[in-house]
Amino acid sequence: MMKLDGIAAFVATAEAGSISAAARRLGNAKSVVSERLAELERLLDTRLIQRTTRKLSLTEDGQTFLPRAQRILYEAAEGATEMAARRGTLVGPLRLSAPVGFGVLHLGPAICRFLADHPGIDLTLELDDRFVDAAADGFDAVIRHGTIADTRLVAKRLATSQRILVASPAYLAQHGVPQSVADLEAHCGILYANRDADWRFASADGWTVVRPRAALRVNNGLVMRDAALAGLGITLLPTFFAHADVATGTLIRIDIGYAAEGAELYIAYPRERTASAKIAALTLSLRASFGDPPYWDLPPSDRDVPLSARIAFRDTPG
């Protein structure tokens, strides 16, 4: 009879790319994962994974079996969750991916609040600035900032996010404060590497695009903020990165007469999966923690409401 722990070993190995990584994810010894894989292959009378000294890859049968194995594990976990939910509790594993900077500054405190309310959930949070594939990489959900173009995902809005131009007082004292789009194009820019380097601003005639000279390109908002604090140039940051420094004056907000293109924070999960009670509860909890409007867009005197926002703002460096 096929066992769930063997299926779990196969799925974890396929998603993680190695038996060692799968063992760490599952909390088992490497030898245990290898034995469970071997037992599953004996039961199925086929080789699922091709092992060599240098790499691991799925066989044709393994590629065929993987989505079904993932579905089996998901349905088993959701079945257990549904039974627990009927008793008024939520239990079981939940694997989440989120951007590094937002996770460090804001998601961490919000997740702690969620887990305090649902102690039966075993949550794994992986912070990564690349756009992970929620289904292929084995995540139950991902947190994204910006448009979600992947039609395989169902996206639920968590909060709004403004983007603002900021620079250090020292940089502006040396290079001047830009007053217009034309002024801005003459300055050094600290740019986000994971999207087009264009800065877009709403004008009466549509979108106005600025392409500054890059002083630095990097795929992490915290490093962008640090570079701005160090006086390397002007950067366009979400307010959830810059609000504390703008409040203290270590970064200066620049007004060129146009509002920068905004974005929204989403939680997204694979479309082929039914709505999860755990993800639904997490979505409601995160919305409550961030607020509407989110606490990072409130005046400093109002950032002590609600309680969850007070906790998160207190823990934000600045």
DSSP 8-state secondary structure symbol assigned to residue 257? S
User: What pLDDT score does 274 carry?
Assistant: 61
Task: Provide the pLDDT for residue 138.
Answer: 76
Indicate whether 156 and 271 sit together in one domain. yes
d(CA 192, CA 218): 5
Both 171 and 244 in one domain: the answer is: yes
Chosen domain end from 217, 239, 261: 261
Q: What one-character DSSP code corresponds to residue 17? A: S
- pLDDT attached to residue 273: 65
Provide the CB-side half-sphere exposure for 29 (13 A, CA). 3
Count structural domains, the chain.
3
CA 315, CA 177: separation in Å to the nearest integer? 31
Concatenate the DSSP letters of all residues of 142-161 into one string: EEEES----TTEEEEEEEEE
Whole-model pTM: value is 0.68
**124/137 same-domain check:** yes
171 in the same domain as 254: yes
**Contacts of residue 6, Cβ cutoff 8 Å, sequence gap at least 6:** 36, 37, 39, 40, 43
Burial class (CB in 10 A: 0-12, 13-18, 19+), 310: middle
Distance CA 309, CA 279 (A): 21
Same domain, 139 and 63: no
Do 34 and 148 belong to one domain? no
CA distance 117 to 308: 12
- Of 245, 261, 277, at which residue does a domain stop? 261
Q: Which residues pair with 210 in a beta bridge?
A: 199
Q: Residues 155, 269: one domain?
A: yes
Antiparallel, parallel or unpaired: β 259-260 and 199-203: antiparallel
Question: Which letter does DSSP use for residue 105 in this model?
Answer: I
* Range(s) of the domain holding residue 51: 4-82
What pLDDT, on the 0 to 100 scale, is given for residue 17? Answer: 83
Q: Which residues contact 301 (CB under 8 A, 6 or more apart)?
A: none
Structural tokens at position 179: 């007053």
- How far lies 56's CA from each of 8, 45, 51, 182, in Å? 17, 19, 5, 53
Q: What is the CATH number of the domain that holds 16?
A: 1.10.10.10
Cβ 113 vs Cβ 311: under 8 Å: yes
In this structure, the answer to whether residues 181 and 246 fall within a common structural domain is yes
Return d(Cα 109, Cα 197) in angstroms, integer.
31
Which structure tokens are listed for 30? 């490497």
Distance CA(25)–CA(19), nearest Å, equals: 10
Residue 205 sits in a domain whose CATH number is: 3.40.190.10
What does pLDDT average to in each consecutive run of 10 residues of the chain (318 residues)?
A: 85 86 86 90 89 80 88 77 67 89 93 93 89 77 82 87 94 93 90 78 84 89 95 94 94 93 88 77 94 88 44 38
Task: Report DSSP state, residue 103.
Answer: I
